[in-house]
Amino acid sequence: MAYRMVCLMKQVPDTRNISADVLREDGTVNRQALPAVVNPDDLFALEMALDVKDKHGGEITVMSMGPPAAIEVLKDAMSRGADHAILLTDKKFAGADTLATSHVLESAIRKNGPFNLIFCGRQAIDGDTAQVGPQVAEKLDIPQVTFAEAIEFLDKNDIVIRRAIEGGFERIRGRIPLLVTVTNTAANPRPPSIKRKMFWKKAQTRSSVQSEEERVMLSKRGLLIPVWGLAEVGCAAEICGFAGSETWIKHIENVKLTAHEPKCFDTSETGIKELINELINEHII
Amino acid sequence: MENGVWVFIENDLGTIADVSLELLCKGRELADQLGCELGCFIIGHQVSDAASDLIAFGADMVCVADHAQLVHYLTLPYTRIAVELIKEYRPSIVLIGATHTGRDLAPRIASHMRTGLTADCTDLQIGEYKFGKKIWKELLWQIRPAFGGNVIATIVTPETRPQMATVREGVFRQPEADPARKGTVVDLNPTLTEQDLIFKIVERVKAEKKVNLKAARIIVAGGMGVGSKDNFQLVRELARVLGGEVGATRAAVDAGFVGHERQIGQTGVTVRPNLYIACGISGAIQHRAGMQESSRIIAINTDSSAPIFSVAHYGITGDLNEVIPRMIKAYKEKD
Ligand SMILES: Cc1cc2nc3c(=O)[nH]c(=O)nc-3n(C[C@H](O)[C@H](O)[C@H](O)COP(=O)(O)OP(=O)(O)OC[C@H]3O[C@@H](n4cnc5c(N)ncnc54)[C@H](O)[C@@H]3O)c2cc1C
Ligand SMILES: Nc1ncnc2c1ncn2[C@@H]1O[C@H](COP(=O)(O)O)[C@@H](O)[C@H]1O
């Protein structure tokens, strides 16, 4: 059986290695200076989908909600072997919390047609929240398996998944359609193929092309990535973006680090000995 | 019982999860402040003994869903039972532990109720919120570090109910049991449908020994400054010599230096050991959130302006590759 799959992928600022040069004087981060990357867990989600495609056949549609720049995520996914990509972008989608995000993703998935499997990353590194996947599953009224590490069996109706639990794992059997969130302990993502990467490098959206000729040319080569806004997704404006968010930021406080002076010891053997002796005398060690 | 504060009680074969007790303790505080009741619900099998404990730990009402098929967490029936309870009792606040189970369940409930949910809060308070001319009184302030450096965000859910938040283990303290406390236990006697059970656990393997960072008196934690998985041996060795546990930053965990269960911070565990030794850790706010209440903190970092020094009691500006072996040597020589 060929499976219809959707993989949800997010573009995130790379919060993993925040170097000193992106930090402002007051300790806040200059977001613009951070590279935008594909959310790491989402590559594991895509890999799991690609593996299903390799073993059983099927088609993978990748969707990402974000600003126009999120097209980069889709190009990356296409270079790794996804079949279709849709960029979900609209001013009305901006400022979304996870609930509002899940409304847009749910509508887009429904709009895209029947599906057997939906894949998400376990969590996005900009918030580590891990909420969007389960929220989408609930709205689609389908089951979910979170923290998935491997699909061990799959046929027309049934699926067996190994999922991580604290201190171990579970093998869980059930039915599709299903939404799966994938951890970074699953199979490693394959690299993009160089050939596909070169090809997809040129991809654009309709609004970013400069001329009609270019549009026709890109469209002919299949390099025009569809963009769905509010109208195409068909979801009510009041449940999207900032308007649809039920978590409101009351305020943001910049934590001032007090000019606190720890007791300093130097790195010489004598310095370290002093520290250890002080800890021993104070019964700390 | 409407407008109460509710806590989801996670259990493993009847043993209540620490994080749920911690939430009960915080929930009691919030309920007293709001002048409302504290409810909780526990789903599992043979969990009735736990119910009386929960009252001793502060609950006014305990709803018990006991069923052989519910012995381990399953998304669909647990969500259905939780949603039905929320619709019946209309709590104002629902708190859930940010464990694997909690992170599977909480967003599912929030999505069903179309309400807000804030993950991994590091503090919860009651307060008001003004927006334009509107004032909401007695809202739950959901406080957590926000991405973007040294910033903490206070988040509210003014318009929908319940207000939902998840919290990691160790953030709040454990309550003390008061066996004299009175409360009601409601037996839900759930009947399960075929739809509830379309997923079944066919095998479950759980290692007995779970690292217990929270109970450790001494923690030696390593960050990116340690440099490599191999070099993490230095951190392990210092921990071993001092009789402590090994911890790490999210960055070190992501880099594969140690397992995820050792992550300390906002999205890891919160610890308060007697001694915390931070080796090659810059001290980002998400990390500090999980360790700054340690009694004594030693920071070892080559960069004297690293934020970790601002929460440290003892500082060594230097290379951990020199400092750690010297610490081990000095400690071994003292006897
Ligand atoms: C939503 C979210 C949640 C997060 N949750 C957590 C969390 O729970 N826990 C957590 O820890 N982080 C968390 N983070 C990540 C956090 O923001 C930081 O990125 C992370 O803590 C940095 O880890 P680090 O200190 O190991 O690395 P770095 O910030 O890279 O610091 C390395 C330090 O090592 C020092 N160093 C280098 N070489 C040496 C040497 N030879 N000897 C001594 N010192 C040396 C450097 O001067 C530097 O200060 C989270 C981030 C986000 C966005
Ligand atoms: N804007 C988005 N577009 C597409 N997928 C998303 C988006 N936000 C979240 N997701 C998916 O949901 C997962 C969990 O995200 P989060 O709840 O933000 O931690 C991610 O790993 C993605 O698979």
CB A10 less than 6 A from any atom of ligand 2: yes
Ligand nearest to the CA of residue A99, numbered in listed order: 2
Find chain B residues with C-beta within 8 A of A278's C-beta: 314
More confident residue, A1 or B209: A1
Whether the CB-CB separation of B61 and B184 falls below 8 Å is answered with yes
For the beta carbon of residue A278, count every other beta carbon within 10 angstroms: 14
Q: Is B133 exposed, middle or buried (0-12, 13-18, 19+ CB in 10 A)?
A: exposed
Q: Poorest-confidence range of A170-179, A268-277, B96-105, B143-152? A: B143-152
> Taking Cα atoms as reference points, which of A7, A40, A73, A1 lies closest to residue A186?
A40
* Summary mean pLDDT of chain B: 96
Contact across the interface for A28 and B151, Cβ inside 8 Å: yes
More confident residue, A259 or A266: A266
Which of A138, A172, A252 is the closest to B146 by Cβ?
Answer: A252
A37-84 pLDDT, tens digit per residue, is 999 999 999 999 999 999 999 999 999 999 999 999 999 999 999 999
Q: Which residues line ligand 1 (CB under 6 A)?
A: A 15, 18, 126-128; B 147, 223-225, 249-252, 263-268, 280-282, 284, 286-287, 290, 300-303, 306, 319-321
Nearest CA of chain B to the CA of A281: how many Å?
A: 11
Q: Which amino acid is at B37?
A: E
Provide the whole-model pTM: 0.96
Nearest CA of chain A to the CA of B181: how many Å?
A: 33
CB A11 less than 6 A from any atom of ligand 2: no
Phi and psi dihedrals of B245, rounded to 5? -105, 160
Please identify, by atom number, the ligand 2 atom nearest to the C-alpha of residue A124.
19
Return the H-helix or E-strand segment holding A173. Answer: strand A168-175
* Distance in angstroms (rounded) separating the CA atoms of residues B193 and B195: 5
Q: Is A159 exposed, middle or buried (0-12, 13-18, 19+ CB in 10 A)?
A: buried
pLDDT of A1 higher than 90: no
Q: Report helix angle B320-334 to A269-281, nearest 10.
A: 50
Question: Residue B141 contacts by C-beta under 8 Å, 6 or more apart in sequence?
Answer: A250, B123, B124, B125, B126, B127, B154, B155, B156
Q: Using alpha carbons only, give the angle B112, A154, B44 rounded to the nearest 5 degrees.
A: 45
Phi and psi dihedrals of B48, rounded to 5? -65, -30
B140-195 pLDDT, tens digit per residue, is 999 999 887 789 999 999 999 999 999 999 999 999 999 999 999 999 999 999 99
pLDDT at B207: 83
Question: Residue B215 contacts by C-beta under 8 Å, 6 or more apart in sequence?
Answer: none
Structure-token pair, residue A89: 């972008």
Q: How far is CA B45 from CA A84, B75, B190, B285, in A?
A: 45, 16, 11, 40
CA of B307 to the centre of ligand 1 (A): 10
A192-203 pLDDT, tens digit per residue, is 999 999 999 999
* Distance in angstroms (rounded) separating the CA atoms of residues A88 and B197: 34
pLDDT grade, residue A17 (50/70/90)?
Answer: confident
The two counts, helices (H) then strands (E), for chain B are: 8, 18
pLDDT (mean) for B198-216: 90
CB A183 less than 6 A from any atom of ligand 2: no
pLDDT at B148: 78
pLDDT at B209: 65
* Distance in angstroms (rounded) separating the CA atoms of residues A190 and A146: 22
Nearest residue on chain B to A101, judged by CA atoms?
A: B111
> What is the share, in percent, of chain B residues with pLDDT greater than 90?
94
pLDDT (mean) for B290-317: 96
The partner residues of B11 in beta bridges, in order of sequence, read B16
pLDDT of B24 higher than 80: yes
Return the H-helix or E-strand segment holding B155. Answer: strand B151-156
User: Could you report the predicted ipTM of this complex, rounded to two decimals?
Assistant: 0.95
pLDDT of B208 higher than 90: no
> Taking Cα atoms as reference points, which of B171, B249, B261, B141 lies closest to residue B209?
B261
pLDDT of A28 higher than 80: no
Ligand nearest to the CA of residue B288, numbered in listed order: 1
pLDDT grade, residue B335 (50/70/90)?
Answer: low
